[in-house]
């Protein structure tokens, strides 16, 4: 492909099409010039490949392997896990003809209530960057691209479409941009996906300092910058700021803005050509035919269990674990049979197979006995999809009340109680002192049941270490008073997030960053410096094979880590060359601007704000009625994963609509919700009847797409 020749031969209309997506997950082909379409798919811990003719929602997708989510894999502290997972996902991408995976997500876990924390790795930028880079290496080693996301400061969900993340440059540079910087410099991702939110008053999709000055000029990024789905605002401003691709596209208004900008000179053709050049390079490198080789689904299922077992964190154990084959067990809790193995939202996968704890126990002949007969009690509890999902932040850090009541009842029996936890982020554990063991599985993927069995019965030795701090109570979190409560998200705590905050202020926590028990014991020597490297000897002093993590902290920050696996009596010396410290001085001031009024509503208003007027309530309820029908339809489906995913999808769409804005909805819905309709909804809600009608009847004149001009 002679890219410069193609750019020279393309018309302005063809260029305007190329820099936008089509059919929700594709780039626009240019048939006249032989430019093919590139296909994308949601990730990041597996594929959500939409079936042909699907509704582009989060259900109705092709079977794929649901691997453990990032909240789990980060707790393995083993980048080899995410690298191997990335390779397997890429094989499935090629099988389905997908050229680029939308993931991984590497945003910092600023607050435990963020509804999307299950998709993110850590509160620490080095751990997040290393684990994310390894996944990217795995995916791209197989000829499939990635889109690392969400760039940047996308750390909450309630106002993610219009929220304004207010942070100093020092806070951004030393914490929130660090994972992306590491990944760009070490893993060279094919694309970077910009976030929905604003940073200090400017939307990420048109933030020149972020997309050009930092990402391209400082870090040397040479790939494509795309929007998150519906994150476009001003198409001309975004092109001039370094944003190449608008997704999902099919927005006539954006093509009109581009062509008008070229015509009147407000958009230099050079900026449009640069975006086209980046997209053509991406297409040339990654567009391939579907791989004819079949996927080894059994091997991927086994890998999912292997990673889940290596990632699980044994938080407490007073001799209750591991179980023996002689133990008589009383087993309870809804998550024993209905294991929560993935999060809810755009990353939701239709699992190729599913092995729950009940499946694994049954396969090994393990059954439950009554409580006045058992030796030990196992309670399967955690966060359900109603409590934790993309699209909204949690209200608190509590487990469901029914789960708390159940474990309270079990501890009152006087029998040893083992709690098995599922969920994507920390919860308060008021029963911690009453139970004998806590095994935290996070969200372990489709074969989590196998991993649970192997860990409980000692076939595998827990070796996961927490990638985030577990506070005793939510009030101990530095941003607890303001997080997720308004459009302005002020990062007043600066870099004092997670362990940095708790350590500096000597605040007790339930479980610290890096904590995790084992069925064996280890001894570590003090770190010794040897040239540029630091060395530590680790010895397995127990009776079981197990894994341990060497963690190097300098000046209170993690600067390197390495996981080792040792047989009883075995020793190894770990050598770590620390990540270089950033010696620059950055401005640390915060500039907080007033929040916009809730009324009159604008194109950037939260959809729930439409309920302030009679006409707005009619419009809001009309949209919500469609989602209610979707939920009712899902509930009528036969029991099984398809029904579960359909119900989760309905929950997710309700949450997304509540937090959406008319502009973002228009930019995501294409021809189903043209931009002038969004303008009309705003005018009607603001009681401007005739202006609203005028918006609905006006026409956006945009040329046909190149694919529509074929004879």
Cite the active site residues. 228
CA distances for 434 relative to 223, 318, 378, 517, angstroms = 53, 11, 13, 18
Does residue 179 contact residue 108 with C-beta atoms inside 8 Å?
yes
Instruction: Measure CA 131 to chain center.
Output: 13
Does residue 551 contact residue 558 with C-beta atoms inside 8 Å?
yes
Query: How many whole angstroms separate alpha carbon 169 and alpha carbon 491?
Result: 11
- The encoded tokens of residue 193 equal 């996906």
Q: Is 99 left (phi over 0), alpha (psi -120 to 50) or beta?
A: alpha
In this structure, the chain runs to a length of: 711
Does residue 329 contact residue 471 with C-beta atoms inside 8 Å?
no
Query: How many whole angstroms separate alpha carbon 652 and alpha carbon 655?
Result: 5
Name, in order, each residue with C-beta under 8 angstroms of 370's C-beta and a sequence gap of 6 or more.
Answer: 330
Q: Pick the closest to residue 166 from 155, 180, 150 (CA basis).
A: 155
Query: How many whole angstroms separate alpha carbon 329 and alpha carbon 554?
Result: 46
Q: Is 528 left (phi over 0), alpha (psi -120 to 50) or beta?
A: beta
Query: How many whole angstroms separate alpha carbon 174 and alpha carbon 181?
Result: 10
Q: Can you state the percent helix, strand and coil of the chain, rounding each to 5? A: 35, 15, 45
- The encoded tokens of residue 700 equal 């956006």
Question: Any alpha helices (H) in 416-467, and if so which ranges?
Answer: 448-456
Query: How many whole angstroms separate alpha carbon 661 and alpha carbon 81?
Result: 38
**Reduced to 3 states, what is the DSSP secondary structure of residue 34?**
coil
> Going by DSSP bridges, is the β-strand pair 164-166/533-540 parallel, antiparallel, or unpaired?
unpaired
């Amino acid at each position: 492909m002679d890219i410069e020749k193609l750019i020279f031969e393309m018309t302005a209309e063809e260029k305007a099409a190329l820099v936008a997506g089509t059919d929700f997950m594709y780039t626009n082909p240019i048939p006249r010039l032989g430019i093919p379409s590139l296909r994308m798919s949601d990730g990041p811990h597996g594929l959500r490949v939409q079936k042909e003719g699907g509704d582009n929602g989060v259900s109705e997708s092709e079977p794929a392997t649901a691997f453990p989510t990032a909240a789990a894999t980060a707790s393995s502290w083993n980048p080899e896990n995410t690298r191997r997972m990335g390779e397997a996902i890429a094989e499935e991408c090629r099988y389905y003809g997908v050229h680029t995976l939308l993931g991984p997500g590497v945003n910092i876990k600023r607050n435990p209530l963020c509804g999307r924390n299950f998709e993110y790795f850590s509160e620490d930028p080095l751990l997040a960057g290393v684990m994310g880079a390894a996944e990217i290496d795995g995916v791209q080693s197989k000829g499939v691209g990635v889109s690392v996301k969400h760039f940047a400061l996308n750390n909450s969900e309630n106002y993610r479409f219009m929220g304004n993340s207010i942070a100093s440059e020092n806070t951004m540079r030393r914490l929130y941009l660090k994972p992306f910087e590491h990944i760009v410099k070490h893993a060279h991702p094919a694309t970077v996906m910009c976030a929905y939110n604003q940073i200090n008053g400017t939307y990420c999709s048109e933030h020149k300092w972020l997309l050009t000055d930092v990402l391209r000029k400082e870090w040397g990024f040479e790939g494509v910058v795309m929007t998150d789905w519906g994150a476009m605002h001003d198409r001309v401003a975004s092109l001039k700021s370094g944003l190449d691709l608008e997704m999902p596209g099919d927005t006539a208004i954006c093509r009109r803005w581009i062509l008008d900008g070229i015509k009147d000179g407000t958009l230099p053709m050079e900026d449009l050509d640069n975006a086209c050049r980046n997209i053509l390079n991406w297409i040339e490198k990654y567009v391939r035919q579907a791989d004819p080789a079949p996927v080894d689904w059994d091997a991927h299922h086994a890998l999912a269990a292997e990673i889940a077992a290596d990632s699980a964190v044994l938080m407490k154990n007073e001799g209750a674990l591991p179980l023996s084959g002689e133990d008589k067990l009383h087993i309870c809790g809804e998550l024993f049979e209905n294991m929560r193995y993935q999060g809810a939202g755009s990353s939701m996968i239709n699992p190729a197979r599913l092995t729950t704890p009940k499946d694994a126990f049954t396969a090994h002949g393990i059954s439950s006995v009554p409580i006045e007969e058992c030796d030990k009690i196992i309670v399967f509890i955690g966060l359900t999809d109603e409590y934790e999902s993309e699209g909204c932040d949690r209200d608190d850090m509590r487990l469901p009340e029914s789960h708390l009541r159940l474990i309270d009842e079990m501890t009152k029996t006087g029998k040893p109680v083992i709690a098995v936890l599922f969920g994507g982020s920390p919860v308060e554990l008021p029963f911690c002192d009453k139970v004998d063991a806590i095994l935290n599985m996070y969200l372990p993927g489709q074969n989590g049941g196998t991993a649970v069995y192997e860990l409980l019965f000692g076939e595998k030795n827990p070796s996961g270490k927490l990638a985030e701090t577990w506070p005793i109570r939510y009030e101990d979190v530095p941003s607890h008073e303001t997080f997720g409560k308004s459009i302005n998200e002020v990062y007043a705590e600066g870099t004092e997030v997670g362990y940095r905050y708790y350590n500096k202020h000597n605040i007790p926590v339930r479980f610290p960053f890096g904590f995790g028990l084992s069925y064996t014991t280890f001894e570590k020597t003090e770190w010794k410096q040897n040239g540029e490297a630091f060395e530590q000897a680790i010895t397995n002093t127990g009776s079981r094979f197990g894994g341990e993590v060497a963690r190097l902290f300098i000046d209170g920050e993690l600067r390197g880590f390495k996981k080792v696996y040792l047989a009883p009596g075995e020793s190894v010396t770990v050598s770590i060359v620390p990540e270089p410290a950033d010696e620059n001085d950055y401005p640390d001031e915060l500039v907080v601007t007033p929040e916009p009024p809730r009324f009159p509503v604008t194109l950037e208003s939260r959809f729930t704000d439409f309920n302030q007027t009679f006409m707005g309530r009619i419009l809001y309820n009309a949209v919500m009625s469609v989602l209610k029908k979707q939920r009712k339809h899902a509930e009528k489906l036969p029991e099984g994963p398809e029904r579960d995913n359909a119900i989760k999808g309905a929950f997710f769409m309700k949450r997304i609509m509540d937090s959406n804005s008319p502009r973002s909805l228009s930019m995501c819905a294409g021809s189903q919700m043209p931009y002038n309709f969004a303008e009309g909804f705003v005018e009607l809600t603001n009681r401007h009847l005739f202006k609203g009608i005028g918006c609905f009847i006006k026409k956006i004149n945009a040329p046909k797409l190149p694919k529509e001009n074929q004879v």
